[in-house]
C-alpha cells in the first residue's frame, strides 16, 4: 500500500483516485470497487466489528482480504477506518482531502444522503445495507443534524493520527503540482486534472426535483 486517501466522500476523492492511478500509484480502491468486487458484506463486517463489537478490530490481515493488490485507497468505505488503516499500513503516505464544510454538506445532501433517504430500510440489496450501516454509525443516521460535526471530528482525527507520517492536506482544486511534489514524481505534461464524479447525473436529477418542488410550493 502506497497512499491512504482518508478524507470523507464528496471532497474530491474520486478525482484524486484517478489522478493517483495516472501517475503510477494505482490501482486505487474507491467506492466504485465495492460493487464491482461484491465486497459489501466484508465492509459491513468491518463496520460491525468496529462500532458494534461483533469481532476484533481489523488489522492488516483483515484489510488484505479486501485491499490486496491495491496501491491506494480513497473515499468510503476505507475512510471510515483512518486509524486502523494507518496502523495496518505504516509504510503508506496519508492524504486528507478537505473542502469547505457548507459546500461539502450541500454535496452530501444531494448525493449519498438523498439516495439513503429514497431507499426503504428493508431494501435487501447489499449496497443499501452497507449504506445504512455507515450513515448510522458516521452521523447517527441524521446527516443534516450531525454531519458537519462528524466532518470536523473526522478531519481532526486524521490530522492527529497522521503526526509523524508522510502527510498532505489536499484541497479541492490544488491540482497536479501539490500532489506530485508530495509524492516525489514529475507533473504529467499536458494532462488535465481528472474531473471524475459518478454522481453528476444524480445531482442534476435532485436539483431538478428541488426546483420543481419550489415551483409547486409557490403556486400553492
Distance CA 58, CA 63 (A): 7
More confident residue, 68 or 210: 68
Give the C-alpha separation, 133 to 118, whole Å.
15
Contact 102, 30 (CB under 8 A): no
Q: What is the pLDDT, as a whole number, of residue 122?
A: 87
Instruction: Give every CB contact of residue 157 below 8 A, 6+ residues apart in sequence.
Output: 82, 83
Share of the chain above pLDDT 70, in %: 90
> Can you read off the three cell numbers belonging to residue 103?
459546500
Please, what are the domains in the chain?
Answer: 3-219 (3.40.50.300)
pLDDT score for 71: 98
Using the predicted structure, report yes or no on whether residue 201 has a pLDDT greater than 80: no
The pLDDT of residue 196 = 72
Residue in the structure block whose three cell numbers are 449496497: 127
Q: What is the mean pLDDT of residues 155-178?
A: 95
Sequence-distant (6+) residues with CB within 8 A of 6 are: 78, 79, 82, 85, 86, 94, 95, 96, 97, 158
Considering the entire predicted model, what is its pTM?
0.90
Dist CA 183 CA 188 (whole Å)? 13
Phi-psi region of 14 (alpha: psi -120 to 50; beta: other; left: phi over 0): alpha
User: Which pLDDT does position 220 carry in this prediction?
Assistant: 61
HSE toward the beta carbon, residue 10, CA cutoff 13 A = 20
Amino acid at each position: 500500500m502506497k497512499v491512504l486517501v482518508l478524507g470523507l466522500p464528496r471532497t474530491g476523492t474520486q478525482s484524486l483516485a484517478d489522478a493517483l492511478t495516472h501517475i503510477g500509484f494505482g490501482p486505487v480502491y474507491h467506492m466504485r470497487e465495492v460493487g464491482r468486487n461484491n465486497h459489501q458484506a466484508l465492509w459491513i463486517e468491518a463496520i460491525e466489528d468496529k462500532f458494534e463489537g461483533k469481532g476484533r478490530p481489523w488489522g492488516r490481515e483483515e484489510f488484505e482480504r479486501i485491499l490486496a493488490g491495491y496501491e491506494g485507497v480513497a473515499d468510503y468505505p476505507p475512510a471510515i477506518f483512518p486509524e486502523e488503516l494507518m496502523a495496518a499500513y505504516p509504510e503508506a503516505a496519508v492524504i486528507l482531502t478537505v473542502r469547505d464544510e457548507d459546500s461539502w454538506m450541500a454535496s452530501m445532501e444531494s448525493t449519498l444522503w438523498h439516495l439513503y433517504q429514497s431507499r426503504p430500510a428493508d431494501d435487501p440489496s447489499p449496497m443499501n445495507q452497507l449504506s445504512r450501516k455507515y450513515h448510522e454509525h458516521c452521523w447517527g443516521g441524521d446527516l443534516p443534524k450531525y454531519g458537519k460535526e462528524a466532518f470536523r471530528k473526522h478531519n481532526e482525527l486524521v490530522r492527529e493520527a497522521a503526526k509523524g507520517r508522510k502527510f498532505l492536506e489536499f484541497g479541492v482544486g490544488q491540482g497536479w503540482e501539490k500532489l506530485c511534489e508530495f509524492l516525489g514524481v514529475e507533473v504529467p505534461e499536458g494532462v488535465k486534472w481528472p474531473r471524475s464524479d459518478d454522481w453528476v447525473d444524480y445531482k442534476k436529477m435532485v436539483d431538478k426535483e428541488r426546483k420543481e418542488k419550489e415551483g409547486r410550493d409557490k403556486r400553492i
